[in-house]
């Protein structure tokens, strides 16, 4: 993450924010789903935006095409991320908790991620964390990989 910006007025997208709490499409295209996981592709052209959506389970994503992205939260906070090729990031979401945000490609190149939602509770989360740690150890960006 490169910086956190001051909260911004989100009145212009108030309806979308409300819908975000029940929008569980966390990617551009669903690639796979079973009782244990959902795999999403997120592909955003320069300036393109994934609307506000809700994460209800722990998940991780891998950067397939690097670039700069902006993530806004319902409280108005904005974070900018510089994602590197093959970077893997894990988000632990506790039972009963949710995370709502949008995602905008603010780079001049296509931004692409593969996101895996873990549907099998804490056992799957621990296994995914082991997978993420192994991927980080092999990544040339091991020092830049971080939990967000």
Walk along the chain (148 residues) and give the pLDDT tens digit of each residue: 444 343 345 566 778 888 888 999 999 999 999 999 999 999 999 999 999 999 999 999 999 999 999 999 988 899 999 999 999 999 999 988 999 999 999 999 999 999 999 997 544 445 555 555 666 566 554 444 444 4
**Residues with Cβ < 8 Å from 9, sequence gap 6 or more?**
76
Residue 77 lies inside a defined structural domain of this protein:
yes
Q: What is the DSSP letter of 11?
A: G
Range of the domain at 56: 3-138
How many structural domains compose the chain? Answer: 1
Residue 144 lies inside a defined structural domain of this protein:
no
pLDDT at 113: 98
pLDDT at 19: 85
pLDDT at 3: 41
Structure tokens at 146: 């971080």
Residue 61 lies inside a defined structural domain of this protein:
yes
Sheet with 67-72, side-by-side order of all strands:
3-5, 78-83, 67-72, 99-105, 49-55
Q: Return phi, psi of residue 99, to 5°.
A: -130, 125
Pick from 25, 20, 24, 67: nearest CA to 47:
67
pLDDT at 126: 53
Within the chain, residue ranges assigned H as helices are 14-20, 121-138
pLDDT at 122: 47
Residue 15 lies inside a defined structural domain of this protein:
yes
CATH of the domain at 102: 2.60.120.10
Distance of CA 43 to the CA centre of its chain: 12
């Amino acid at each position: 993450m490169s910086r956190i910006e001051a909260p911004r007025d989100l009145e212009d997208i108030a309806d979308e924010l409300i819908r975000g709490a029940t929008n569980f499409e966390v990617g551009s295209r669903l690639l796979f789903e079973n009782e244990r996981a959902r795999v999403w592709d997120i592909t955003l052209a320069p300036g393109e935006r994934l609307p506000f959506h809700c994460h209800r389970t722990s998940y991780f994503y891998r950067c397939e095409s690097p670039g700069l992205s902006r993530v806004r939260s319902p409280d108005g906070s904005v974070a900018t991320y510089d994602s590197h090729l093959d970077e893997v990031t894990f988000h632990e979401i506790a039972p009963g908790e949710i995370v709502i945000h949008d995602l905008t490609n603010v780079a001049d190149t296509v931004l692409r991620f593969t996101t895996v939602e873990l549907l099998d509770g804490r056992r799957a989360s621990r296994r995914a964390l082991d997978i993420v740690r192994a991927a980080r150890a092999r990544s040339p960006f091991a020092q830049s990989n971080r939990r967000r």
